[in-house]
């Protein structure tokens, strides 16, 4: 069987790419990506530098050190690895930032789902190389950049300790039930939240500042309209701590129907938000635990990065334009 001759490239004409792989992601599943990804990059005329991470922070360091000279940076790992890559890329001037490609191989891959990426590795690789470069917003949490979600309180721990396969097996209602039970283990924390010049005070069981169509597997914004990942605005959700079973029931109903109009759930859009907490809490940034103090300031960095998204014929129902969102 004859094969097509390899394309010849003159010295100095090959484009440069950077491949960062977390070898522990998905129980080492990401290791299976290295060879086909490098082969695809080489076939497309890229001279590729490939790195595997060995400890937390490696992806940030590698991205910051090497991405400036590359046209494409491909990340293979979970949401935490992609978070580190984005933090590294954000250390470089915007005009020098490469386009990002994401091959999600983690256990949850919520960011990959938000981007509408396929579950098939071969399609993910093709999108990372041949998708549509699209600008998206990035969050900044007390000076630390993140991709799509900052949250604290109920649901958060259970979401990131449960794999996507387990979530699918449990079913939404069973998973939601587990999340509602987690409220009982959380102490109410009085918090002042400053949004769009307004002060909101309360004892909140959950708070999230996101740039994604769904949050921790239980909050789905797409049923009430789609979410634009590049409009300079966050989706903010605050859920009151329920004092009675009736209040808990209203919250459960709101989550299961995506009707957030009850008095115990508060949804906002903003470009920045400040939290002032009576007691510090642990936050989750893109699936990673982060300690924070009594005050947290989060701002939206508009059109911060470019990332490869699926072409329309592969994107299916995922849309990235805001339409008739009901607040």
CA distance 6 to 278: 64
- Beta carbons of 285 and 148 less than 8 angstroms apart: no
Confidence of residue 166 (pLDDT cuts 50, 70, 90): low
What is the predicted pLDDT for the residue at 226? 74
Tell whether 26 is covered by a domain: yes
Q: How many domains does the chain have?
A: 2
Q: Give how far Cα 113 sits from Cα of 75, 138, 214, 216, 233, Å.
A: 15, 16, 9, 12, 20
- Residue 237 pLDDT class (50, 70, 90 cuts): very high
- Residue 252 belongs to a domain: yes
Tally DSSP H helices, then E strands, for the chain: 10, 17
Cα–Cα dist 204/265, whole Å: 10
Residue 153: predicted pLDDT: 86
Q: Of 64, 96, 130, which residue constitutes the final position of a domain?
A: 130
In this predicted structure, the answer to whether residue 52 has a pLDDT above a threshold of 80 is yes
pLDDT of residue 98: 98
Q: Judge whether 234 lies within some domain.
A: yes
Query: In this predicted structure, what is the pLDDT of residue 7?
Result: 47
Mean pLDDT of 294-317: 86
Res. 225: pLDDT tops 90: no
The pairs formed by 295-299 with CB atoms below 8 angstroms and a separation of 24 or more are 296/141, 296/142, 297/141, 297/142, 297/272, 297/273, 298/139, 298/140, 298/141, 298/142, 298/150, 298/209, 298/234, 298/272, 298/273, 298/274, 299/139, 299/140, 299/271, 299/272
* Domain at 265, CATH number: 2.60.200.40
Please give the pLDDT value at position 10.
45
Residues above pLDDT 70, as percent of the chain: 81
The residue among 41 and 327 whose pLDDT is bigger is: 41
Euclidean distance between CA atoms 146 and 286, whole angstroms: 7
Eight-state DSSP code of residue 183: G
Is 237 within 8 Å of 266 (Cβ atoms)? yes
Judge if 162 and 215 occupy the same domain.
yes
Give the domain extent around 80. 15-130
The CATH code of the domain that includes 36 is: 3.40.50.10330
Question: Closest Cα partner for 159 from 226, 105, 85, 109?
Answer: 109
Answer yes or no: is 6 within a domain.
no
190 plus 279 within the same structural domain? yes
Output the pLDDT for position 211: 94
Pairing, β 144-146 against β 132-141 = antiparallel
pLDDT band at 160 (very low <50, low <70, confident <90, very high): low
Domain shared by 96 and 184, yes or no: no
């Amino acid at each position: 069987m004859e094969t097509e001759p390899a394309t010849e490239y003159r010295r100095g004409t090959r484009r440069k790419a950077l491949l960062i792989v977390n070898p522990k992601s998905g129980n080492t599943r990401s290791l299976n990506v290295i060879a086909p990804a490098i082969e695809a990059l080489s076939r497309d005329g890229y001279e590729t530098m490939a790195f595997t991470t060995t400890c937390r922070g490696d992806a940030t360091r590698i991205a910051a050190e090497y991405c400036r000279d590359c046209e494409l940076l491909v990340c293979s790992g979970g949401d935490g690895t992609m978070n580190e890559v984005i933090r590294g890329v954000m250390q470089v001037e915007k005009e020098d930032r490469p386009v990002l490609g994401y091959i999600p191989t983690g256990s949850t891959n919520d960011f990959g789902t938000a981007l509408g990426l396929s579950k098939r590795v071969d399609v993910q690789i093709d999108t990372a190389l041949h998708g549509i470069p699209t600008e998206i917003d990035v969050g900044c949490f007390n000076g630390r950049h993140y991709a799509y979600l900052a949250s604290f309180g109920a649901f958060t721990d259970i979401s990131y300790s449960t794999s996507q396969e387990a979530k699918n097996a449990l079913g939404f209602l069973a998973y939601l039930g587990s999340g509602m039970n987690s409220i009982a283990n959380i102490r109410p924390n009085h918090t002042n939240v400053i949004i769009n010049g307004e002060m909101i005070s309360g004892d909140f069981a959950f708070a999230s500042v996101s740039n994604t169509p769904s949050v921790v597997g239980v909050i789905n914004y797409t049923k009430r309209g789609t979410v634009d990942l590049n409009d300079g605005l966050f989706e903010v959700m605050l859920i009151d701590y329920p004092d009675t079973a009736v209040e808990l029931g209203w919250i459960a109903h709101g989550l299961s129907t995506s009707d957030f109009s009850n008095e115990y759930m508060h949804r906002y859009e903003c470009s920045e938000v400040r939290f002032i907490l009576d007691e510090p809490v642990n936050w989750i940034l893109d699936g990673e635990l982060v300690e924070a103090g009594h005050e947290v300031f989060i701002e939206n960095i508009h059109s911060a990065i470019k990332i490869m998204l699926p072409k329309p014929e592969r994107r299916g129902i995922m849309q990235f334009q805001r339409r008739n969102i009901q607040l």
